[in-house]
A and B are shown apart, each in its own frame.
Chain A
């Protein structure tokens, strides 16, 4: 009986991480589902949903993790694929960097019904004048207007654009 596991791997970035990890999995017929892989600072992070027949994944990846100095964490993904993953709102936030932007924006929007599906942030600008940029795709459980109203209460000096996503099917 096959099952899904969720792997998280993190380590100092270097060429070959993705190819070596995925080759180790492919060699024993572990199939990949959704994955997210990106550089964060000087680290490289990977999260992979893996479909397999009960393999000992930590043992399987021991060699490659040791070679590339990767930390590995395995979760059993009992619920499988999420079917309700269609975003209906796109939000961009940016402004002069300060602590607490993500916390303030997301808590306000969560109270107004936002379920975040995808969120990414980045630091940009210059060292003496850094700016913070955040993009969110999510579901507006109480409608997009509720988010727009809630956004007006956010005190931070941030620019915020809230745009409904009307998915085209054709």
Chain B
């Protein structure tokens, strides 16, 4: 197991579109192990995508099950060749990225999504998710398409009137 080097913008590899994974072999399994170890080494990272370690494959990991303030989640998700097949709603949230140190900003994402992806056994899984987990998945899939959250920043003044926690 190895902690891989996280590449940082302006590295061009972060802006490239990744290729479909076709070979589900031992090399892929080993890479996934290293990628997860790299995620765990990043401070509080809930996700990581292959391009963040310079590998242009459509593969990402998301796990939002360990947050201090718990959110709905599906546990550890290894997503190979993931696709979002349905989007619903919009929500503004604050994001940061291992590949863009020392900056966080507001991004609008779909509130609910339907996602399908393959596992290490090449079998497809599909489910709906929402909120924080959906945000993390969208952030990671953007990496596979050569997009960073910086490409989706909204002005400080852009405010969606969010779900109401308190209304006088």
Partner-B contacts on A (CB < 8 A)? 86-87, 90, 92, 118, 120, 135, 137, 144, 148, 151-152, 154, 158-170
Chain B residues with CB below 8 A from A159, complex form: 167-168
Asked whether B94 lies within 8 Å of A170 as measured between CB atoms, the reply is no
Asked whether A170 lies within 8 Å of B62 as measured between CB atoms, the reply is yes
Tell which of A86, A87, A162, A170 has the most Cβ of chain B within 10 Å: A170
Chain B residues with CB below 8 A from A120, complex form: 156-157
- The B interface is mostly helix, strand or loop, or mixed, namely loop
Chain B residues with CB below 8 A from A151, complex form: 166, 168
Docked CA distance A96–B98 (Å): 43
Docked CA distance A139–B147 (Å): 29
Interface residues of B in 63-100 (CB under 8 A from A): 67, 69, 71, 93-98
Asked whether A168 lies within 8 Å of B163 as measured between CB atoms, the reply is no
Which of B17-25, B117-125, B133-141 interfaces with chain A? Answer: B133-141
Q: A161 touches which one: B47, B95, B161 (CB < 8 A)?
A: B161
Known pairs A168-B94, A169-B97; list 11 more (Cβ under 8 Å). A86-B104, A92-B159, A135-B159, A151-B166, A158-B168, A161-B161, A161-B165, A164-B165, A166-B67, A170-B49, A170-B136
Partner-A contacts on B (CB < 8 A)? 42-49, 62, 67, 69, 71, 93-98, 104, 132, 135-136, 139-140, 156-157, 159, 161-168
Q: B168 touches which one: A92, A160, A163, A167 (CB < 8 A)?
A: A160
Asked whether A154 lies within 8 Å of B168 as measured between CB atoms, the reply is yes
Say how far B118's CB is from chain A's closest CB, in angstroms: 20
Chain A residues with CB below 8 A from B164, complex form: 161
| Contact of A161 with B94 at beta-carbon distance under 8 Å, contacts A169-B44, A170-B140 already known | no
Say how far A148's CB is from chain B's closest CB, in angstroms: 5
